[in-house]
Amino acid sequence: MTGKATTPAPMTPVPVPQPESDRYWEGLRRSEIWVRRCEGCGKPYFYPRDICPHCASAKTQWFRASGRGVIHTYAIVHRAPHPGFGDKVPYVVAIVELEEGVRVPTNIVGVEPEPTKIKIGSRVVPVFEKLTDTITLLKFKPA
């Protein structure tokens, strides 16, 4: 082995918004969480899309969620699934259930990525992590 590493660090993958989720991404840029509810069956849902996944109604509306929730489940990632996450392991992937009733795939931050430090059912609050000028990620930390 000689010389210095010359390969640039791999880029972290960036989400590619779809038109029907624009309001969600716009909200995250303002540190707001917007999700959808069906006017047909009354159920909220996530991820944001025009057609209700419960009853297939097209009558849906946006509403702002509080951001308060609990950890529904989680896993600690030790082996990066993409080179762009190589310098981030270990980290916590989770499903957080917002108090409005939707479950959101996310990361838990601000806590040691140790099973003894993270409890299913524990309360979390949102963290808005700016990734690019257009993409802000929704993560959570212990409340």
Q: Return residues touching Zn ion (CB under 5 A).
A: 38, 40-41, 52, 54-55, 57
Shortest separation between residue 52's beta carbon and Zn ion, angstroms: 3
Q: Cβ closer to Zn ion: 15 or 63?
A: 63
Cα separation, 108 vs 127, whole angstroms = 9
Give the nearest distance from C-beta 20 to Zn ion in angstroms. 15
The backbone torsions φ and ψ at residue 29, rounded to the nearest 5 degrees and listed phi first, read -65, -25
- Residue closer to Zn ion by CB (options 43, 68) is 43
With respect to Zn ion, which residue has the nearer C-beta, 55 or 75? Answer: 55
C-alpha distances out from residue 47 to 21, 74, 76, 109, Å: 8, 18, 22, 21
Query: Rounded to 10 degrees, what is the CA torsion of 123, 42, 26, 99?
Result: -10
Cβ at position 88, least distance to Zn ion in Å: 37
Shortest reach from residue 41's CB to Zn ion, in Å = 3
